Each structure stands twice: as structure tokens, then as C-alpha cells.
Amino acid sequence: MSDWRLTAASTVYTDALKATESLSQPAVGFVNPTVTTNKVSESLFRQLNTLIQITVQIKEQLEDLKAEVQAIKKEKEKPNVDLTTSIDSLAKDLQKLKIGDKPTIPKLQGKLYVYKDPKKIFEQEKEKAKHR
């Protein structure tokens, strides 16, 4: 937050005003320094306005950090996975795997009839490749 208007609208700021309202009503947060004629009071108001702004920013950053810490704690509280059971289940899964067992293609019995002899076709193609 960089603007005092945004700070004045924040819940942290309004809660602080409500908390200090019992001291004097109405509770005063940011003050326009030009209202007073005394130069000392004017600079004091400016300094206090700056302090209010900084305090609210620090409070909001603190709330963000608290939320992050709580999220980290929740993440840390998750139960750890037992490595031995994980390894055992992985070993069982690996035992089920079969490598190299391909389904066999049934071989046809009898003669295979073709239009041309495959050996002759191969030799012709080989000769064509030599001439290229």
C-alpha cells in the first residue's frame, strides 16, 4: 500500500480507530496538517500520519507472514509416507511386469503363392541401385 486513502479503507486501520475511540470520540487517524496554524503542530501531524501509514503496512505484512507460516506448518504436519511400504508395493508392481513376451503370430501352414520370386525382385532392385 502506498496511498493513505487505501490505508484508511483497510480493516486494520478501521479496527485500530474503533479500539481507540473509547479515549476520545470521534477517533482521529489521519489528520490534514493544513487545518492548524501552528507550524510545530503541522509537522507533528505529518510525522504521525507517516507513522500511522508505516504501522498499518507492517501490520498487513505481519498478517501475510502469519498466513505463510500456518501454510508451512500444515504442509509439514502431513504424514510422511513409509518408505518400506512404498518400496514393497513398487517391487510387487515390478514383479508383475513381463519383458519380451510378445504375442506370437501364428504361422501359416502350406505353400505361399506369389506372382514373382522375391529373390529375383531383390536382385533387380539391387542392380537398379548400382546404376544410380
d(CA 58, CA 19): 18
Residue with cell 508383475: 96
For range 7-17, the mean pLDDT: 80
Q: Give the separation between CA 129 and CA 49, rounded to whole angstroms.
A: 92
Give whichever of 11-20, 33-42, 67-76 has the largest mean pLDDT.
67-76
Compute CA distances 28 → 4, 8, 20, 58, whole Å: 14, 11, 9, 20
Note the pLDDT tens digit of each residue in 70-129: 999 988 887 777 788 888 889 998 888 877 777 777 777 888 778 888 899 999 999 999
Which pLDDT score is estimated for 67? Answer: 96
2-11, 49-58, 87-96, 99-108, range with the lowest pLDDT = 99-108
- The structure's pTM equals 0.44
Residue the block writes with cell 498478517 = 63
Q: How many CB atoms lie within 10 A of CB 45?
A: 19
